[in-house]
Structure formats: C-alpha cells, structure tokens
Chains A and B, each alone.
Chain A
Amino acid sequence: MSSVIDHVRLTHLQALEAEAIHIMREVAAELERPVLLFSGGKDSIVLLRLAEKAFRPARFPFALMHVDTGDNFPEVIDYRDRRVAELGERLIVASVQESIDRGRVIEDHGPRASRNRLQITTLLDAIAEHRFDAAFGGARRDEERARAKERVFSFRDDFGQWDPKSQRPELWNLYNGRIRPGEHVRVFPISNWTELDVWEYIAQEGLEVPSIYFAHTRPVFSRDGMLYAWRAGDELLEGEQVITASVRYRTVGDMRCTGGVRSQATTLDQVVAEIASTRVTERGETRADDRVSEAAMEDRKKAGYF
C-alpha cells in the first residue's frame, strides 16, 4: 500500500490524469458504441495508458481504430501492432488505400501529393460502417488556435462536421454526450495537456514510444524548411537533394506531411529536455498540413478531421 497524499496538493500530471480518466469513464457510461483512435503517435499512446487506468482490470469497453494512410512510418505500424497485442484489445484498421480502391476518394499525384485530406473520408466511412457514436482522439488545445476553442465533447453532425459557433456549453465536469442516430461525438480526454505534459507523462509511466521519436540517422530531403524522410522512388522537386541527417520526429503523421527536426536526443530524458527548451511550436515545426493557410486546421476540422 502506498499513499498519494504525501503533500495534499496533487501534481499537475495527477490532476490532468484524474480529469482524463473521468472523461473516458463518462463516455463509456453515456454512449453506446465508442472507439478509440490509435495512431501509434505519442498522444494516443497516452490515451491507451489512461484507458488502462480507467478500466482495468476489465477490458476496455471499446475497440481501437487506426486510420492508415498507407504512407505511415513502418516503425510506427510495428509499434502499433505490438502495443495492441500487449493490451489484448481489438484493433480495427481503416485503410485510405481501400477508400481509393473503392473510388470513395481520388488520390493526388506528384512530388507534393499527400493523403492527409483523404483520411477524412476514410474516418467518416469507418465511423458510419461500425455505427460508432463516440471517437476518442488525442488532440490537445495547445496545438493550434482552432483547437483552443474546441470542447472536450466535440459534437459532430451527420456529415461529421464541426460547427465552432454552435458548440454546447461545457460546465464543470458535467459532459453532455446526447446525440441523435447518425451523429457522433469526438472526445478529447487530454484537451488540457501540453506537449511537455505528454512527454513528462510518458517518462513518468515508462511508456514505450516508436523509435522515430528518438534521434536516428536517415536519408532526408529539405523542403519548405522541413526535413522529410526520403524513400527509394520518392520524387524530388528541382534543387532538392537527399542528405543523411540525425533527426527526431515531434509528431507522427503521414510520412508525406510530417517533418523531422535535427536532434541528438536518444533518450526520453533528453527528449523532455529538448521539448522544454524548444523555441518553435510542435505543428509549426513539423506539420506541412497546418501551413497551408492561416486557418488550415479550422477548415479541416469543420470538414470532419480528427
């Protein structure tokens, strides 16, 4: 037996964890068919640990789902499958390639092509197919200014759309998950966490993360000020060349829209130290998808993005 009340005041991570566990249990209790979106990225890794804390020793009262663009880092897919097996939970893979093959979406071609936008259709199709009424996501309000205004229970209409102007007021810890058939809620248990909180929690919990979060040497090319992973056969623009560099990823998205940062941080402690002293935001540094326009994220969220 141990006591948490050494000091009466909880640490910020204890307070954030308690809030997130409460949110997950509310969803389990109030909605019929939740699902947890698990990408293998650090935020959804934290969600899985929070789900263990909320529901063990029972199984999770929901399945896990990954929207696979087909352009994911192989290290992340390996990690995903290993983690799911360890947990003994069920994983559904919704495939963007299948959406393309079935003609639901049309793929762009060329050196700047990205499947990022196509994920929206695959995600919404999967939610409809499995009749999910709630989807847990690892989004955080500190990531981006549209997200700063998003509720913990973020209501989506039957087109999967987010309407920032008609959000439900969210008071105390009294969440309202009531919806009509065909609608769903996106639920963000770590809304109030920052990037640094996530890394400190990963270190505190001793969680394994995909190897690409640590500094490693790989062939990359520089585009728009970011370092993208180069794979044999990738088309380059004029003037671009492949170099070998020691990089680390701050976010794990699709290989085509996620840039690496130069880093020598090979341990969790070094990564935490690097994040604590960074001078550039996570999305500003590494995500091409947010750079398209001043309101890039807001537009994608309205269309049903994560």
Chain B
Amino acid sequence: MSALGLLRFTTAGSVDDGKSTLIGRLLYDTKQVLDDQLVQVAEASRRRSSDGALDLALLTDGLRAEREQGITIDVAYRYFATDRRRFIIADVPGHKQYTRNMVTGASTADLSIVLIDARKGVLEQSKRHAYISALLGIPHVAVCVNKMDLVGYRQEVFDQIAADVRAFLDGLGVREATCIPISALHGDNVVERAPGMPWYAGPTLLEHLESVEVEYDHPNDVSVRFPVQWVIRPGAAIPAGLGEPCGNGPESTLGPSACHEDYRGYAGQLASGALHAGQTVVVLPGGQQTRIAAIDTYDGSLDEACAPLSVTIRLEDDIDVSRGDLICLPGDTPTVARDLEATICWMSERPLRAGDRLTIKHTTRRVHAIVVALVDRVDVETLEREQDVDAFALNDIGRVRIRTSLPLMCDEYRQNRATGGFILIDDASNGTVAAGMIEDAS
C-alpha cells in the first residue's frame, strides 16, 4: 500500500476560488469521507442553502469563528490516501492579510496548487500564491484552472490562461508547472476525467499528485547536511526530577557497543543527502575531520541513511560535538557565516526596524541576531521592489541583512531548504515573528 510514500501539498485560495470545494471534491471522490461526516455535511448544507445540495466545501469547516464568518483563519491540515500515495494537505486562506499563513503552509510543501477562476484569468491573488510558492522553494506548482463549466469547457480559455500563468511562473524561476483544467464543483479532472473536455490529454489533478517526485528522491544529487540535535549518552547523569530508574531498561538492539557506559551518539534528522558508514566527514563549525563509525537506529545499524531519516551517528574519533553542530562531507561544506542577506516574511503585529535584536533559530542552532538593515520590500500585489524601507509591517516580505552572535552553517535557500531557512523569535513575547530564506552569506 502507498508505494510512493508521502506527498505534502498546499492549497492557497479563498472561498471564491472554489478552494474548499476542490479539497472537498478530492476527499469525496477518493472515498475519504466517512458516513458520519457526510451526514453532518448534508445537515449543514440543508441549513445553509436554499436548494440543500451537498456542499462539499463544508467538509473543510474548521473553528467556530470560521464557520460563523464563513472564512478560513488558519492553516488546517488534512489527510487522505489512495492506493498509490499518502497525502497531507496544508489548507490555507488566500487573502493578503493571511500571507504569513500561506508562507507557513508552503514551508513544508512538496507541491503547491494555485487556483485560477477560468472566468477571471490570472488575478493578483493567484500571482501572490505563485510568488509565495516560488519564494518558499516548493518544487512543483500545479495550476488548476477552475470553474471550466462556467466557460463552456472551452479549450481556448484554458490555453490562454495557461500561457499567461506560465509566462508569470517563468519570471519567478519556476520550471515545474503543470496546468490542469478542472471543475471542482462537478468533479471534472479532479479525480475523474472530464467528459466535457476531450481536448485535454494531460493528467487529472489526482494522477498528477500521485506521480510527482519529491525533494528526497535523489539523495545522492544533493549535499549531505546533518544538524546534530541531541547527544545520546547512556552513562550521563539523569536529568533532575526524573528520579531513579525502576527497572533495568530494555534489551538494547543497538549492538554490543551500545550497552557500554561510554556510548556517545549524535542524534538528528538527516536534512539532505545520504551518508554511509565508514565515510569521512567534517564537523562544523570546528572543522574536525573523522569517519563515521556507525549509523545507529533502534532497529539496528545501517550501512547508509538518506534524508529525511532520523538516525544516531557515532564517530571514530573522540571529538567535541554538541547540539547545533553540523556533520557534512569535506569538499562540500556550507558557508560558515555570521552575516546573512535573506528574504523574510514578517509575521508580527509589532513592526520590524533596522537595529532590532531577535533570536534566530536555524537548523538546531539558536543564537542572537541583530537586523542590521532593511534592504527592500516586495509589493506582493505587483511584485515590484521598493527601496528605502523604514519598517516591515505584519505580512511584509522583503530583504534584510542580519548579523548573528555565533556563526551559522548555511546554504542559499534555493540550494537547500533545510540549511537555508530560519525563523526569528521575539525575546519579549517568545513569539515566532518571521520566516527567513537565506540568499547570501559570508
């Protein structure tokens, strides 16, 4: 079952685009809607509309405030599966005031669905979604030209919109775009083929979702990045408050060396690439070289491990490695830098100004940061860049220069999402106030 693993995708849009109807249609036509949910939706459909027809958009109803106001406030995660793949949908609202939610949903997505109303063509909102998808480095964009039923399923309407959107995406550097003419309301080309569009020979949306490749498919083509998350030392003192163990612990499956008090393993999630036992590695920021003695898991040692597995690495030499360090290969190291230029999305109601001090979390490192300068701001409606910015307001996107108190091991975000992305944390409120994508580091 689910031979093709997991695909995470995001759908940004508003009620008007038919986003909720599209998600409802995907869930309904893949038979993921269970009887009690269907009964609830049928009851709600009767209460809320005059004809009482089943409103699939109601399947994605969320919090009470959202139901009362008929809007989506926050990112909702939804799940469905086919025989070929498991899917996680990050369902986010589409209006400009929810830019930060769109960025959040996009950060983990392998694919983004951009919805376009066939009657209206490429509007600013669709452009904004495409821009955010590109900014967050989502590998695939699926453009769904929706409401084809309302334009008589005409090919020339679709072709024109597809050409417009491709031109726009080319400008953003998005190469992987698939355009699909659909009607979410009638289910055309969502899961089932559309009888009204014999001219369309491409995949249905579901066929496309089932077959696209994900980021981790070619681990040998990308740099090895292993941020150390936690040091496993069975011989270490028990943290305060845990008391004495009340048993002898489990029969360890980690091999003979694991039973020893001197076991020392570096635990983490491989962010990119593949590692194998015996390989020569370098530990940053120190720069020490050593070899991998073993790649341990609870289920036994591995010859090799690829992203995104969580494993524990033992090294041949006894060197000082701690949380926040990064294991990679000699000759293929990230930049070790304290000065970054990055595009950020500001997510706080308190404005950001040059000189502000914050905490940056990048991979497993958390250090102090100062925003040295605001370089420019992107108008997310026109995508023009505005210079001479004195503050970023909530949902602003723009470039900043940041200096950190300790070096970070970073790559450009477009090369590596894991070592190119960071968050900023406000020290007063402890809130997460920005998402950042590194463009240059020195």
Do A and B pair up? The answer is: yes
- Residues of A at the B interface (CB closer than 8 Å) are 1-5, 8-12, 14-19, 21-22, 25-26, 28-30, 33, 52-59, 61-63, 84-90, 130-131, 141-142, 145-146, 148-149, 164-165, 167-174, 176, 178-180, 191-192, 194, 196-197, 278-281, 284-285, 294-295, 298
Partner of B242, one of A63, A192, A281: A63
Q: Are B218 and A55 in contact (CB under 8 A)?
A: no
The one of B6, B242, B269, B364 that contacts A29, using a Cβ cutoff of 8 Å? B364
- Which A residue sits closest to B294, measured CB to CB? A1
* With contact pairs A18-B269, A58-B236 given, residues A5 and B304 touching in the complex (Cβ less than 8 Å): yes
- B4 to chain A: closest residue by CB: A9
B248 contacts A88, C-beta separation under 8 Å = yes
Given contact pairs A130-B241, A149-B63, A10 touches B249 in the complex (Cβ within 8 A): no
Q: Which residues of A contact B297 (CB under 8 A)?
A: 53
* Contact, CB under 8 Å: B234 / A148: no
- When the two chains form the complex, which single residue of B2, B67, B258, B432 contacts A171, counting CB atoms closer than 8 Å? B432
Q: B328 at the A/B interface (Cβ < 8 Å)?
A: no
| B259: Cβ under 8 A from any A Cβ | yes
Residues of B with Cβ closer than 8 Å to A? 2, 4-6, 34-37, 61-65, 67, 73-79, 81, 85-86, 88, 100-101, 103-104, 107-108, 214, 216-219, 229-230, 232-234, 236, 238-239, 241-250, 252-254, 258-259, 263, 267-269, 274, 277, 297-306, 308-310, 323, 347, 359, 361-362, 364, 366, 417-418, 421-423, 425, 430-432, 435
- In the complex, which residues of chain B have a beta carbon less than 8 angstroms from the beta carbon of A14? 5, 309
Please report the number of residue pairs spanning A and B whose Cβ atoms sit closer than 8 angstroms: 246
Contacting residues, chain A, for B37 (C-beta < 8 A): 281, 284
The reply to whether A90 and B242 form a contact with Cβ atoms under 8 Å apart is: yes
Is A148 touching B36 in the complex (CB atoms < 8 A)? Answer: no
A122–B180 CA distance with the chains assembled, in angstroms: 53
B77 lies within 8 A of A141 (CB): yes
CA distance A147 to B146 in the complex (A): 29
In the assembled complex, the Cα of A164 lies from the Cα of B64 at a distance in Å of: 10
Chain A: minimal CB distance from B151 (Å): 33
Answer whether A171 and B421 are a contact pair too, CB < 8 Å, given A58-B234, A63-B243, A179-B430.
Answer: yes
How far apart sit A221 and B252, CA to CA, in the bound complex (Å)? 45
A58 in contact with B214 (CB, 8 Å): no
CB < 8 Å neighbour of B36 from A19, A55, A192, A280: A280
Closest chain A residue to B77, Cβ basis: A141
Quick check: A1 and B430 within 8 Å, CB to CB?
no
- Bound-state CA distance A194–B37 (Å) is 16
Additional pairs, 6, CB under 8 Å, beyond known A169-B347, A176-B431, A280-B35: A5-B306, A21-B310, A29-B230, A57-B263, A167-B74, A172-B423
Residues of B within 8 A of A84 (CB): 246
**Is there an interface contact between A4 and B75, defined as CB atoms closer than 8 Å?**
no
Within 8 Å by CB of B254, from A10, A57, A176, lies A57
Which chain B positions have C-beta within 8 A of A294? 64, 67
Q: Which residue of the partner chain B has the closest CB to A4?
A: B302
Quote the shortest CB–CB distance from A279 to chain B (angstroms): 5
Q: Known contacts A56-B252, A148-B76; is A18 also within 8 Å of B310 by CB?
A: yes
* Contact A3–B62 (Cβ < 8 Å): no
CB-CB under 8 A for A21 and B269, given A88-B249, A141-B79:
yes
Known A-B contacts A148-B62, A281-B34; the reply to A172 vs B418 at CB < 8 A is: yes
Q: Are B302 and A9 in contact (CB under 8 A)?
A: no
CB distance from A176 to the nearest CB of B (A): 5
Please state if A149 and B2 are interface contacts (CB–CB under 8 Å): no
Q: Identify which of A4, A10, A52, A57 contacts B5 (C-beta below 8 A).
A: A10
- Indicate if the CB atoms of B62 and A2 lie closer than 8 Å: no
Chain A min CB distance to B109 (Å): 11
Question: Per a CB cutoff under 8 Å, which of B249, B299, B308, B366 touches A15?
Answer: B308
Residues of B within 8 A of A168 (CB): 431-432
Given the complex of chains A and B, what is the CA–CA distance between A197 and B366 in angstroms? 33
A300 to B6, CA, bound (A): 32
Give CA–CA (A87, B347) in the complex, Å: 43
**Are the CB atoms of B107 and A172 closer together than 8 Å?**
yes
Q: A90 — which chain B residues lie within 8 A by C-beta?
A: 242-246
23 contacts between A and B (CB under 8 A): A9-B214, A9-B217, A16-B6, A18-B269, A25-B268, A28-B230, A53-B299, A55-B230, A84-B246, A141-B79, A142-B78, A149-B74, A149-B77, A169-B103, A169-B347, A169-B435, A173-B269, A174-B362, A174-B423, A176-B430, A178-B430, A280-B35, A285-B36
